[in-house]
Amino acid sequence: NGKNGTINGYKNESLNIAVVGGGLVGSLAALHMGKRGHNVTVYEYREDIRTAELVIGRSINLALSVRGRTALREVGLEDKMLKHGIPMYGRMIHNIDGTRNVIPYDRNSNQAIYSVGRKYLNEILITATEKYPNINLKFNKKMSGGKVEKGEVHFVDTSTQQEETANADLIIGCDGAFSSVRREFLKKNAFNYQQIYIEHGYLELCIPPAKDGEFLMPANYLHIWPRGKFMMIALPNQDRTWTVTLFMPFENFDSIKSSDELLKFFETFFPDSIPLIGEERLVKDFFKIPAQHLMAVKCRPYHISSKCVLIGDAGHAVVPFYGQGMNAGFEDCTILSRLFNKYGSDLEKILNEYSETRWEDAHAVCDLAMYNYIEMRDLVNKKSFLFRKAVDDL
């Protein structure tokens, strides 16, 4: 292996790789490829997240689980993330009468998922790429088109409007749910594509720390207020705040037009959360930005020729109820890396096998995430006979 530039008899050469999108998955993909010695350039639409203001409307924290941890471990970043993350050992259910009960994730070995900050995670990943002289970061570069089947991508610099073309051996499309790379796939034959917007949206609220600077609720749980047709959840942050996310049909969001209506709604459905969030903050945050849409994408195949592949949300955007969108995108990096181990730099073999073997799991995560919304907002609180009836009624 590795002798004369081969792996398992396949050529193993250094490739020029263009990573489109420097979000969570793009920056991790760059690390995985950079670690292998390839020349990687990351083209990111936004400015450098390390110096940018926090973007409102995007989930502030995420649940990191085993899939994601494995991919982070492979680039030496798992421990750092776990040190920052807050373990959540189960769900803490908030009942309408103010009582709470715990449902552990694992009764035997105390496994946990970790609440991690999106910005922190992205920053650590981007900073880690700087250790590799063969990884080059380019910010404010928006992909505008290209001939991806030939390894060609066009970018526009969002500050100077200057155009730039990259010619790469491999383009890795990691530009998220509304992927521009994927748009090029849609122009080709035999590309299967499905996009679904669900009728529910989400809005983020915040529970501040207590007066003594500590958490206002038990920290090591994912808190859920299941209310049948809708729900609210809360994940802990390092600064002792909670990011609270309300998921609800848009018609319910639209029916709340004034602060009185909002407070009445919360008094009816989430009474114990009002003193935690605080009336003033609740009203301010609720009306700050409109509820955001949630979308799922399934597509297949994930590659074109031996030049371009889609990973992360660009290949499989999922609704967030299974907490696996980022984790599945991180796992894409692990799988691609293993295929490079198997086939050296033979991109035809690598991309074919990636597409063939990845879609079933990715589509399954998409379906499980849709199902888990019903589990979290409704079934989590039901006795087994009611649970069965609710599933039958689906």
Residue 144: half-sphere exposure toward Cβ, Cα within 13 Å: 12
Q: Among all chains, which residue has been given the structure tokens 């990111």?
A: 44
**142 is a contact residue toward ligand FAD (CB under 6 A):** yes
Of 31, 33, 62, 350, the residue at the interface with ligand FAD (CB under 6 A) is 62
Least distance to ligand FAD, CB of residue 203, Å: 10
Sign of CA dihedral 43, 47, 52, 54: negative
The b/e string for 210-228 (b: 16+ C-beta within 10 A; e otherwise) is eeeeebbbebebbbbbbbe
**71 is a contact residue toward ligand FAD (CB under 6 A):** no
3-state SS class at 304: strand
**334 is a contact residue toward ligand FAD (CB under 6 A):** no
Least distance to ligand FAD, CB of residue 85, Å: 11
**146 is a contact residue toward ligand FAD (CB under 6 A):** no
Of 17, 18, 19, 24, the residue at the interface with ligand FAD (CB under 6 A) is 24
Least distance to ligand FAD, CB of residue 316, Å: 9
Yes or no: say if 333 and 71 are a contact pair by the CB < 8 Å rule.
yes
Of 114, 185, 202, 343, the residue at the interface with ligand FAD (CB under 6 A) is 202
CA distance 341 to 326: 23
Segment 246-275, which members bind ligand FAD (CB under 6 A)?
none
The two tokens of residue 212 are 């003594």
DSSP symbol at 95: -
Dihedrals phi, psi of 391, to nearest 5 degrees: -65, -40
Residue 205 CA to its chain's centroid (Å): 19
Report how far apart the first and last C-alpha atoms of the chain are (Å, whole number): 53
Residue 4-23 contact track with ligand FAD, rule CB under 6 A, x = bound: ----------------xxxx
**180 is a contact residue toward ligand FAD (CB under 6 A):** yes
Tell me how far CA of residue 317 lies from CA of 149, 213, 237, in angstroms: 22, 37, 24
- Which residue lies nearest ligand FAD, judged by its C-beta? 23
Strands 242-249 and 231-236, how do they pair? antiparallel
Least distance to ligand FAD, CB of residue 309, Å: 13
Q: Between residues 46 and 240, which has the closer beta carbon with respect to ligand FAD?
A: 46
**46 is a contact residue toward ligand FAD (CB under 6 A):** yes
**151 is a contact residue toward ligand FAD (CB under 6 A):** no
**63 is a contact residue toward ligand FAD (CB under 6 A):** yes
Binding site for ligand FAD (CB under 6 A): 20-26, 43-46, 59, 62-63, 142-143, 174-176, 180, 202, 245, 312-314, 320, 323-327, 329
